[in-house]
Amino acid sequence: MIKEMEERIDRLLIDKGFKKEWDMIYTSLSRDWGEQFAMKVLKFYLMALITSEIGEYINAVKKGLGAQEEQEEWADIFIRLMNIPILDRFDAQKAVEGKMDKNEKRPYMYGTPQEGKR
């Protein structure tokens, strides 16, 4: 399911011109500053967009705009999050499944003072 969403979001990024924007940012920065720096700036740009969407979700909750608005803002967060594996060209589904496998083997309440206590 994640792979299908990733592919659909990738098509949207192309069709709506966002990947062209990424290319312009990357090309202009990499020319003077190098490819590694350009990629880092592009990732920070995507993280800023994700943060913006989180802020919109928070406002929807705070203002009591209702479930439909909250769900739309949550979807925007998910869509923006999926920009990262698209940019980095990694399989988001494989990454999530691998992390879930790892988390399922961890103890109860891992990473908290209650770890292992039931």
pLDDT digits (tens, 9 = 90+) for 1-21: 899 999 999 999 999 999 999
Q: Is the pLDDT of residue 116 over 90?
A: no
pLDDT digits (tens, 9 = 90+) for 84-111: 999 999 999 999 999 999 999 999 999 9
CA atoms within 13 A of residue 56's CA, in its CB half-sphere: 17
pLDDT per residue as tens digits for the range 18-43: 999 999 999 999 999 999 999 999 99
- Dist CA 92 CA 89 (whole Å): 9
State how far the Cα of 58 lies from the Cα of 103, in Å rounded to an integer. Answer: 27
pTM of this structure? 0.87
Q: Rounded mean pLDDT of the chain? A: 96
Across 79-108, b (16+ Cβ under 10 Å) vs e yields bbbbbebbbeeeebeeeeeeeeeeeeeeee
Structure tokens at 101: 């496998």
Residue pair 3/16 in contact (Cβ under 8 Å)? The answer is: no
Distance of alpha carbon 101 from alpha carbon 66, whole angstroms: 34
Give me the residue spans of the domains in the chain: 2-104
Q: Which amino acid is at 16?
A: K
CATH T-level assignment (fold) for domain 2-104: Helix Hairpins (1.10.287)
